[in-house]
Structure 1
Amino acid sequence: MAVTLSTDHLPSPVYIVPDCFRDKTDLLALQSTRLGGVSEGPYSSLNLGGNTGDLPEKIQKNILLLCSAAGIGSNRLVSSNQVHGTGILYAEEPGHHDGYDAFVTDKPDLFLCIFTADCYPVMIYDRRHRAVGAAHAGWKGTASEIVMKTVAEMGARFNTEASDCLAYIGAGISAAAYEVGRDVCELFPEEFCMTKILTEGGRKYFLDLGKANRRQLLNSGIPAENIECSPFCSFIDREMFYSYRRDNGMTGRMVSLIGMRTLG
């Protein structure tokens, strides 16, 4: 994984390029940070999320800055309002589509966008069939196996075989920072839940969403060596990332995007 700083603009968007995708010249995949934009206050500075209290003109400028730094047109993005469900869209053209939490496509020059500020972005690339998928995995989506369903959708549409896929789990909230209720923990296998017994007799529950989504990729058949996981935590690494929980909802959004460039 490498952090890339564009020098084409001031300000300069800072984004992460996963190592597993880095040598794929026909592929663009990245996760933005909060650095290198024009937003101010709690949205400082590269806020890309429209469902925040940030000024729309600031958000649009940030989108243009990031797309320019990445070498793509801002009119080639595919996005959704993300509803913590399991809706998966087969994207055939750019645009905003309500009600989806995952996308798949085999069309070049379409860049699938997942917006996060603690939830996990998961990006998948089928090397053989030149197809990609992207999923938004919060606790609800993870409990509903959105990542496994995205891999299955790629199989159904593109004849994707999991063994041909590379996958990246981007930065989200780590288990150490993600306290949840017992009711949420009970939706997951014990291996993803940690319990802390308090001296006064109570208990605290912590959920490892990153590990849970990695397990879904493995269960889908993607080899362990083909899966890369971000080492960052959106909650703890406050200088690099927005965190909805840490900032009590008053914060921006990162974007993770993946798409295939036209060959030739």
Structure 2
Amino acid sequence: MTPLPTGLLVHLSGPLQSWGERSRFNQRDTSRAPTRSGLIGLIASALGRGRDHPIGDLAALRFTVRIDRPGTLLRDFHTVGGGMPRDLTVITAEGARRGAGKRTVTSERYYLQDAAFTVLVTAPDPTLLQTCGEALRHPHWPPYLGRRACPPNAPLLLAALEREPTMSLLNLPLARTSPGTSTLRVEFRSDAPFSGPAWPPTPENETDVFTEAQDDPISFTPNRSAYRSRSVYRRHLDMPASQCGGLGVGYLTSLSEYLTVLRTESSPASP
């Protein structure tokens, strides 16, 4: 019988990602890391839940995000309705058509280019983790990274862990090239404090950063979506550059080797 998982390791990378945090009207922003609402939405979609389906059980999920590659910010100046006859232009809130000179609707949409994240998913109920892991391995609908125009370039689920999950997150190869120095600074974001024996103590001259974000979803129901605020904890760790797995085939090779060792250590010893 396969043991129930203690956590899930998820890889998020692609040419573009966009994790809206405060998007309003014509300004469509992106957070610098996956949001809680985006991650829960990704899992809900993999489970085959529509936007009007309950997500209360997924509130128990906890996420710790490791920023392997922060990527760069891309601004897309977007237009709708330009050059179209009036009967094909954007409809106003009152149901009328826009007049001459106002037919083109503009917006600014922001994306992360070439970013990569490793996400540790945990929960008090291992059965919930097992269900989410199976859905991420075989998603009901095609997954996307924040917006439908942002497909991932690799499978989402790296491993369903059977050991202490934080240590696996800390030791997993980084999806990036080496900076040419002995160490590199890596940012972690979590919706819970960085506690437990796996986390190194915070240096005396540093503190974990605490902020808040309005991205904890209550409902995704169209026109009635609702979110509450939640705590965001941030920590930076100096990690060995030798942990950089590179890109492309190099990263896949490093990842495969690490996961093979992980599975071997998790397997019960032969009698």
TM-score scaled by structure 1? 0.23
Larger RCO (CA under 8 A, 6+ residues apart): 2
Structure with max Cα Rg: 2
